[in-house]
Structure 1
């Protein structure tokens, strides 16, 4: 949709320019269109209009600042530094403001580039820049009002596609075979869980910005129903009822676990079909394979219950079967008409007042903040790029500044990845642009290719940045060709990209680097605190009855977000220089165990609506409360461990003991809860032993 909107806006610009014989005016209008498009986030038409108005105001301030300081390079550099730091810190307010801040820095380069020859020329070009901004803003707002459904459908389709792969990955853990690296599979699942959590967050934001105070239309209620169903599926799939090695040993000679694995794999396929159905607005083609697989699974579990002695493994198998059966019921109702929700409230992550927005920015004004470090790093990198441009008297030198703006990311690993994509895309774009100029030298063909290139850039820059970079480079070559200014463009673009990318990479390495080792202890502690908060909400559900209210869904989402942040941190740490890492083996072991703990707690949430949920005895509740408190104490101890030596690490679990496992036929759910608490307490003890392993010889040397 981004690409289609850009295609429409750029085509009109080129058509008007072609009809009016405005050759030199077309370029600034196109740059204005690009700058305006960079401010876009997934929003309704009111939010889009608000964003565009704020962006125009910020762009006007930027243009005025550049105009006042342009004759004096030192003052212009100061304006660039002030803009970079202030705008980057403003991104703490929310995603909308991060997009505006990024687009404003790009707009700064566009305005400064237009004023490079003379202020008189700039006075003529700047109105065209704002014309492009206003034109694309108009297209964007009208589009958001007229075409509101496709973005939501896209987010939901993407969510169910990721859920399908997640279910299939989880099914691999249920394979009862010998000599399999189960930890490798668990690690893959833990890392992939972050993608699912991100997709849940994106779908939530797409829904939230379209939910007003009035009763939502039918299509939006249906979308909300599908989102809440996805949350339920994710919680059930995240559940674990036993150690997988224990289940594999207990049912090695039985087909029961294979039957469970088949059901979960088929449900993954069902999620993929639901994704396609949501995207194409067509009913999925089910052939009843999942229903038959569930019947076979239940039959195998019945045989196992009759032939095997009772015990924790058999109980876990029965709970797994019940969970998969309930999950099948949720999947079967995803495309049904949405029931009237008891509560459709979603978390509002946007500030509602200026005071709240300022508090968000103020909270980041500290050296320990990754955003503050990124703001300082980007500011100094841009100043270095500006100094290089002035020293070399490069007529295309603002490409150095633009490259730094696009390549610089909050973390070292992300910056290197973006740099690689930028260089690759630039080389592809230069080669493609050169070839297209030779093949289609005419102005009409060139104009069509410019519109296509701009559309590809804006459509692909978020998901395929290499392709997007290649497209915008092609656009620039074609545009300069039409203006008769191709001399030195190819070499200049390549050298400026290398220079800007090198400065960004060096800044990420040398200027207040945000190494993951600095954040790991805090992220690990936050993960345990979120798990404690979720356990607290689950206990309330067992006492008051199942309710999918906002407090419960928020606790569940926060727990998974914290787990995803921890896994993303480990993935980024593995790409950082070895000398600045923690002991990645120890961190990986902690991630695996904390994710396993999340699985055991999720099982408690998945079964909270079953009969007998309110029949928990005092001993079980006391054990659960002790576990919750121990999680919080361990979180505090981990934060303190950052400044300790590994040999100084001490932590006592205290009076946290696994409850008894006496079989209670009249209260099977209570026995299930006891089993899950016992598993969670066992993992908690393992976590305590892993914490000293965070810090190895490399960390001590650092």
Structure 2
């Protein structure tokens, strides 16, 4: 089949969202069909809630991993469902069980991402089980059967998920890598803005934008790594399509390092080379390479060969010609920026080579160390150790578990005062709105309220327009599918969809859907208010209190990254696991600091008075990481063995170790909330020594020395930013001071 129809079918088959929607539609529609065919509409609600809970517990994995996760999920669901059923006649005991379930399962999320989704879904299923219990005088489904139906619905959707994973084993990996290259394309275009030779540009704002863009790339890389690890058999190298995708992941890592490289202060380049077009040429190459990454992402998503890439080859040739012309002018003030710009051009050459490699089918198997660091626990002892490590008041997860549990207790009290039989939506709203951070909670609160109002209005209109039960059942299925398709990125729409589904199901089963509109709105308002109050009053986790520790982690990771880089200049380039882990930890810590600051900027003004100091420190740490990335990007530029002299190698090694020690000293000062040790001029002295080091067989200092000198020049701004943060930021709460920690 050719033509537009074939292209549409190919695109439809490549869209992972459509496969997700199809699974949900089959699961929900089959349950509704069973209820209609059997004449037992009372069976539909617990079955549908079981499907919902199972879909919420779903995480990307291989079919074997999903089968294991499904077994764990069903055991958790069965224990919780039967427990709620057994305690239904004893409200206080049921409350204690729900609160214990909330606290314990929230802490179990520390085990890992896969188990975090299972535990969150288990808490929701506990409330589903309570919602589904018959009230006094109601002759509905017996309590034990409710639990069985919840588990049956979960098993049905879980079976569909396992079958889909077996039928399309690597499709999620392709989509994860598509997300990586899409993020890289955006990152390269943001990086191009740093080369704009315009006076008066706010470089500080652009550095912060670059840091946020880098955080998106890091998150996409971690998602892709987890997808690959989930499908890799321990001790066995990936084969076939998975091996090809692993190669694309390694290429993306290298492109990320090269895109992060910072070779020189951009503002100085603008002043010295203001009348030249060379910076515009750098900017154009980066834009075109960003477009090439975006094209590669689209090709991966649609499962087809990449189209002709953007013409960055001629643009690179023009850049080299411009650099050669500037070099022939022999202007003394141009020599320093030209040395760095030549390094930029070499870096862009290699980035172009990597893009070309990514667009060609592999002709030989992967070489070298292809292992990935698996952070998942591999025994009950490791899992238990992770949970025990969270049992202190300084742990963000522990604070969230306590806060959520007490908020649910307050929601239970509000339910008893308003509607003991049907007021569980108050607890459900509190559970969903109460997030670990202030900014996330406020955003979720607004989305939940807006989506609920929108869903109620839409549901009222549709019930009047389509009173037929069959149409309302179809609308319920569509609402459920829309909820899962939009819940991660457009939560307002997702809330409206699930509200519509609930209205349609309730009206389909009882014919009294209109009577649910006002109670549902009031329950949502009360639950959201309780979640907001809990966040402010119970162990609030203000991000500003963690800013120093987050910056310290970023700097310590940079020091370890620097040591790995310089060691490879002595031994030769090798993208082995140790180097890749050090590089990834440095970028992960930088992304975590960026995310922390982003959350802090959404907190109340009285707790973020030191936001300016935090942003300055983020700019300094991200600039430092850029200088280190430039060092890492050029590890393959090794002179001939005879060009090395022991003094030069020793000079670089001693300078790198001294710099790593100074970076770690600043990190320790931030961790202990004390002013960093004052600069003694040694960093500037190292910079002058490295700049003046005689070349080996070249006519200019080695790139290693030039970049190490750039790192030296970052130390004073880094110390100043750290000292400013320590001076204006509040001290972290004492580990035993519960009262002070909650202020």
TM range (shorter): over 0.9
The Cα shift of 1:312 comes to 2.0
Other-structure match for 2:352: 328
Structure 1, 395-404 or 294-303: larger mean CA deviation:
395-404
Is 1:317–2:341 an aligned residue pair? yes
Which one of 80, 97, 116 corresponds to residue 79 of structure 1? Answer: 97
Q: Secondary structure at the match of 1:204?
A: helix
Is 1:620–2:652 an aligned residue pair? yes
The Cα shift of 1:123 comes to 2.8
Is 1:122–2:106 an aligned residue pair? no
1:133-191 Cα shifts (integer Å, max 9, x gaps): 11111111111111122211111111111111110010011011112111111111111
Q: Secondary structure at the match of 1:617?
A: helix
The Cα shift of 1:652 comes to 4.1
Which one of 172, 179, 188 corresponds to residue 193 of structure 2? Answer: 172
Which one of 463, 471, 490 corresponds to residue 489 of structure 2? Answer: 463
Change (3 A) 1:501 1:308: farther
* Structure 2: distance between partners of 1:675 and 1:346: 32
Other-structure match for 1:691: 722
Other-structure match for 1:303: 325
* Structure 1: distance between partners of 2:606 and 2:100: 33
* Structure 2: distance between partners of 1:16 and 1:260: 63
Is 1:245–2:272 an aligned residue pair? no
Other-structure match for 2:365: 340
Is 1:217–2:232 an aligned residue pair? no
Gap regions ≥5 residues in structure 2: 1-16, 732-739
Other-structure match for 1:27: 45
* Structure 2: distance between partners of 1:288 and 1:74: 66
Other-structure match for 2:8: none
The Cα shift of 1:216 comes to 2.6
Q: Secondary structure at the match of 2:691?
A: coil
Higher relative contact order (CA 8 A, sep 6+): 1
1:21-53 Cα shifts (integer Å, max 9, x gaps): 232211211111001111111111111111111
CA RMSD of aligned residues (A): 1.9
The Cα shift of 1:125 comes to 2.7
Is 1:480–2:497 an aligned residue pair? no
1:73-99 Cα shifts (integer Å, max 9, x gaps): 221111111111100000000011111
Change (3 A) 1:696 1:474: farther
1:625-657 Cα shifts (integer Å, max 9, x gaps): 11111111111111122xx5xxx6643457442
1:349-406 Cα shifts (integer Å, max 9, x gaps): 2100000000100111110000000000000000000111012234321111111111
* Contact kept? 1:535, 1:601, Cα under 8 Å: yes
Is 1:593–2:616 an aligned residue pair? no
Which one of 557, 561, 568 corresponds to residue 534 of structure 1? Answer: 561
- 1:40-51 mapped onto 2 (5 Å cutoff): 40-51=58-69
Other-structure match for 1:570: 597
Which one of 674, 685, 690 corresponds to residue 660 of structure 1? Answer: 690
* Structure 2: distance between partners of 1:161 and 1:554: 23
Change (3 A) 1:697 1:609: closer
* Structure 2: distance between partners of 1:363 and 1:655: 39
* Contact kept? 2:487, 2:494, Cα under 8 Å: yes
Is 1:235–2:266 an aligned residue pair? no
Other-structure match for 1:185: 206
Change (3 A) 1:650 1:544: closer
* Contact kept? 1:3, 1:457, Cα under 8 Å: no
* Contact kept? 1:59, 1:104, Cα under 8 Å: yes
Which one of 490, 495, 501 corresponds to residue 522 of structure 2? Answer: 495
Which one of 249, 258, 271 corresponds to residue 293 of structure 2? Answer: 271
Other-structure match for 2:734: none
* Contact kept? 1:634, 1:651, Cα under 8 Å: no
* Contact kept? 1:169, 1:189, Cα under 8 Å: yes
Other-structure match for 1:680: 711
* Contact kept? 1:545, 1:613, Cα under 8 Å: no
Change (3 A) 1:529 1:481: same
* Contact kept? 2:403, 2:539, Cα under 8 Å: yes
The Cα shift of 1:229 comes to 0.8
* Structure 1: distance between partners of 2:627 and 2:375: 28
* Structure 2: distance between partners of 1:455 and 1:517: 39
Change (3 A) 1:670 1:530: farther
Which one of 390, 398, 404 corresponds to residue 372 of structure 1? Answer: 398
Other-structure match for 2:573: 546
1:101-147 Cα shifts (integer Å, max 9, x gaps): 11111111111112241596323333222210111111111111111
- The TM-score, its normalising length taken from structure 2, stands at 0.91
Other-structure match for 2:702: 671
* Contact kept? 1:653, 1:685, Cα under 8 Å: no
* Structure 1: distance between partners of 2:98 and 2:385: 25
- The TM-score, its normalising length taken from structure 1, stands at 0.96
Gap regions ≥5 residues in structure 1: none
* Contact kept? 1:610, 1:669, Cα under 8 Å: no
The Cα shift of 1:695 comes to 4.8
